[in-house]
Amino acid sequence: MDQERNAVTELVVEVDARTVAQGRTIVLRSRRTSAWTTSIAAGIITGLGVGGALTLPANWLVMLMIAFPGLLLALDAGRQFAATRRLRETWQRAGIPAVAMRISAAGLHCSNEAAPAVFLPWPAVAGIHLKRRLGQPMLVLELAPGTTAATPGVVGLDHPDVQRALRTKTLGVRGLWFGVRSLRQPLEEIDRAFAHFTNGRVRCLP
């Protein structure tokens, strides 16, 4: 068993394209539903305020104050529609990668929605954490402190989408994330590869 494990030079973690496509469809649908709900609420509130101002001229100021939150909701709905459109266009441009990770002695090649082509030598990887988001298991890759696009051996961190992803925390960790359901290889196999190539330093399972 040890000889077989030592013979492994790389673990390729493939992406289940169907699962990713279904997940994207659900996300876009929920965002559009939220935007339309906000739009309808904005229309009702604004309509009540403006209608009241027209039918009760003496109270027009009060009615317009009632309508004002509706205008704010309308602006928010517009932002939601625009953000959903940008996300759909980003996913269309990026497509769905065939491989999420390549784990080897040299380091970690990874690709997700925010990071189309990133390579991290092992000193640049602080750890990879198993988290849950909306009930779904996620792997969140944490970079070592001080790791930047200029760190020797690092490739791809200067991509704008990667920079945006690294500016915010995902499940309490600032890093790159991967949905476990979208990975074809089981977590146990991925964990063994991390442990093997880092002498046990990086693990995704307890």
| pLDDT, position 109 | 94
Residue 136: band (very low, low, confident or very high) from pLDDT cuts 50, 70, 90: confident
What's the one-letter identity of residue 186? P
- Distances in Å between the Cα of 61 and the Cα atoms of 41, 45, 52 are 21, 15, 10
Instruction: Answer with the residue of higher pLDDT: 114 or 72.
Output: 72
What average pLDDT does this structure show over 162-186?
Answer: 83
Entry pTM: 0.72
Q: H/E element holding 63?
A: helix 60-94
**Per-residue pLDDT reduced to its tens digit, 20-53:** 888 889 889 999 999 999 999 888 888 777 776 6
What is the DSSP code (8-state) at residue 112?
Answer: -
Q: Are 71 and 46 in contact (CB under 8 A)?
A: yes
Residue 78 CA to residue 73 CA, distance in Å, equals 9
| pLDDT, position 3 | 43
What average pLDDT does this structure show over 54-83?
Answer: 79
Residue 96 CA to residue 82 CA, distance in Å, equals 22
